[in-house]
Amino acid sequence: MNDLDLILAAAKEAGELALSAREGGLKIWSKDGGSPVTDADLAVDALLKTELMAARPDYGWLSEETADAPARLTTRRQFVVDPIDGTVAFMKGKPWFAVSIAVVEDGQPIAGVVHAPALDETYSATLEGPPLLNGQPIVPSVTADLLDCAMLGDAKMFVHPAWREPWPAMRVEARNSIAYRMCLVASGAFDAAIALSPKSEWDLAAADLICRRAGAVAVDHKGRDFVYNQPVPTVPSLVCANKALAPLILSRVGHIELP
């Protein structure tokens, strides 16, 4: 079984487990730093780690719900996993969460799956061929103006008085899962997504490949490409957009110095 088929099957099994766990009632607590986690996050993580590492014992492992170990830095390939991306939506009974699994080689994703089980949407990509949604090719939008574009992000951020130039009126919506937001841009359902706060590699890796294969842009707010399996697996921000809007967005946010 190739890597894509392996992670596709694992993501769908993980999605079924997540849905059944939610239906049965979740145990919820806060991690260090205050973000919520559920017993389902840990169960899905354990399932994925057991199955994927049994199939590829020489791969490294990086997951939101597994304590990080430096051994992954010595491997050429890694699984980069968010077992339930969008935990807040998941625990509130909303559909906007996803299982995100990437295979990374030499710092770049080579296979990626983002599976949103409550929506029955499965996005996938490899380095060859088009990215797919439920088996059908996807492409980004061709929207070329920020005015009235479909934007994923924090509505309050766009109206903050500190901007050098006010943002035009946009149709701004929120989706909890970062990976799912990026896939919505890759598929043309939205035109762009912006997050000016730190993100983790497991939020991005699978969807980054899906976006790039679709012809969308996924970079940080300075326009830098992402590199994966870093010692500290975080990035400062995310700008994801079709190719027409990406430079317009970067011109507005590139001057910002984030911590």
Burial class of residue 44, CB neighbours in 10 A (0-12, 13-18, 19+): buried
Largest Cα span, the chain: 53
Q: What is the pLDDT of residues 96-142, one digit of tens each?
A: 999 999 999 999 999 999 999 999 999 999 999 999 999 999 999 99
Q: Are 204 and 238 in contact (CB under 8 A)?
A: yes
Question: Looking at residue 85, what is its pLDDT?
Answer: 97
Q: Which two tokens stand for residue 45?
A: 């993580």
Rounded distance between C-alpha atoms, residue 141 and residue 149, angstroms: 10
Q: What is the pLDDT of residues 42-62, one digit of tens each?
A: 999 999 999 999 999 999 999
CATH number for the domain spanning 51: value is 3.30.540.10
- Indicate whether 18 and 116 sit together in one domain: yes
The answer to whether residue 125 sits within a structural domain is: yes
Among 32-41, 67-76, 174-183, 216-225, the minimum mean pLDDT is found in 32-41
- Indicate whether 128 and 8 sit together in one domain: yes
CA torsion sign for 188, 194, 199, 201 is: positive
What is the average per-residue pLDDT within 148-160? Answer: 97
The answer to whether residue 228 sits within a structural domain is: yes
Question: Looking at residue 41, what is its pLDDT?
Answer: 97
Collapsing DSSP to helix, strand or coil, 251 comes out as helix
What's the total number of domains in the chain?
A: 2
What is the average per-residue pLDDT within 167-185? Answer: 98
- Indicate whether 124 and 229 sit together in one domain: no
Residue 86, pLDDT > 90, answer yes
Question: Looking at residue 112, what is its pLDDT?
Answer: 98
Strands 98-105 and 150-152: unpaired
The model's confidence at residue 95, banded by pLDDT at 50, 70 and 90, is very high
Residue ending a domain, among 137, 168, 197, is 137
pTM over 0.85? The answer is yes
Residue 186 domain boundaries: 150-253
* CA dist list (Å): 15 to 46, 113, 124: 13, 12, 15
Question: Looking at residue 32, what is its pLDDT?
Answer: 82
- Indicate whether 156 and 237 sit together in one domain: yes
- Indicate whether 158 and 48 sit together in one domain: no
Nearest to 185 by CA among 98, 243, 119, 104: 243
Nearest to 234 by CA among 204, 202, 200, 258: 200
The model's confidence at residue 204, banded by pLDDT at 50, 70 and 90, is very high
Question: Looking at residue 226, what is its pLDDT?
Answer: 98
Compute the half-sphere exposure of residue 209: CA atoms within 13 Å on the CB side of its CA.
31
- Indicate whether 122 and 162 sit together in one domain: no
- Indicate whether 202 and 246 sit together in one domain: yes
- Indicate whether 177 and 96 sit together in one domain: no
Average model confidence (pLDDT) across the chain = 97
